Amino acid sequence: MKLDAKIYVAGHRGLVGSALVKTLQSKGYNNIIVRTHTELDLIDSRAVATFFEEQKPDYVFLAAAKVGGIVANNTYRAEFIYDNLMIQNNVVHQSYLNGVKKLMFLGSTCIYPKACPQPMKEDYLLTDVLEYTNEPYAIAKIAGIKLCESYNLQYGTNFISVMPTNLYGPNDNFDLEKSHVLPALIRKIHLGKALEENNWKVINEDLNRLPIEKISGTASKETKQAILKKYGIDLIGEGKVSVEIWGSGRPRREFLWSEDMADACVFLIENRDFSDTYDKGVGEIRNTHINIGTGSDISIAELARLIQELIGFKGDFVFNTDKPDGTMEKRTDVTKLNQLGWKHRVDIAEGLSLMYDYYLN
């Protein structure tokens, strides 16, 4: 890509999109187009068509999506499939109609079967049933892969699909009602340490910055203690605090620093094409997507202990086995990505330290 190429990053305010914008800017790209949801609703087909006709981007990163944790995915099933299908259908189709040189579609490793062999290879797509709690979201992302493949095969477009593993990093969501496991644990353990030290100044600052169910640091001490307890941060004795973790703690997850993910995406769009994503000697072209990850994982219990050590929390963890574990193991096979020339740099210990510094600041 030329440094003055017109690059549209859809979803620039999210964890993925913001990392992409930062990486592109750091590499000297100076013609990046972004739109907020208010400025451009990607579910609106006419609005998306008008945007592409007027802007004519050369390259597109499709990072916009409706995302959430287990509860949100399982509760808002219709929204997760409808919104995501509409977003990707509109952006991919208009990219084709308006001659976009290259598009990158970002999905998720939840596309793989619930009982997928480990590590998860690209070839395992559509070989078994999906995890029930996020099935609608996964089906939408699978449709996005097939949409890109189909446009490439029929129309000769150059659309690449990448499936990042669990991401964390700047602009992550720390809302305890909606966040993913890693940022939720960081915030809960941070608040747990403050509670065990009776440090209400830290708790008040945290709640003022990000209220929980509209309860801020200005609420009464009893109200604040009650909302913390509701979200599993419980004072169980003098200076003794427990932090609840959903599930058994046994599920294993792979985590990738978001800026590593962005670096991989920019590397691929700069250096690789759709034709590099499949074996030329095979008649049927399938599974052209690329896993993006580290290839290593950690249990939720181990993750919690790493964060506990980092933050200095002395309390206990309570594993609520009435809550769902989700898929027990989700580790990507990153052989294809490595063969294409990219490998991650930030390991989980360094990433957690960076993440906690970001949260504090």
The position carrying tokens 């249990």 is 299
The residue type at 13 = R
Is residue 84 packed enough to be buried (19+ CB in 10 Å), middle (13-18) or exposed (0-12)? buried
CA angle 74, 77, 80 (to 5 degrees): 115
Q: Which of 29, 137, 168, 359 does the annotation list as catalytic?
A: 137
- As to burial, measured by CB atoms within 10 angstroms (0-12 exposed, 13-18 middle, 19+ buried), residue 131 is buried
Task: Tell me the CA distances in angstroms from 96 to 101, 106, 263, 290, one per residue in order.
Answer: 9, 17, 25, 21
What is the distance between the alpha carbons of residues 263 and 355, in angstroms, rounded to a whole number?
A: 17
Which three-class secondary structure string do you get for 196-227? HCCCHHHHHHHHHHCCECCECCCCCHHHHHHH
For residue 210, which phi and psi values (nearest 5 degrees)? -145, 85
Per the annotation, the verdict on 82 as an active-site residue is no
Contact criterion met (CB below 8 Å) for 258 and 172: yes
What residues are annotated to the active site? 137
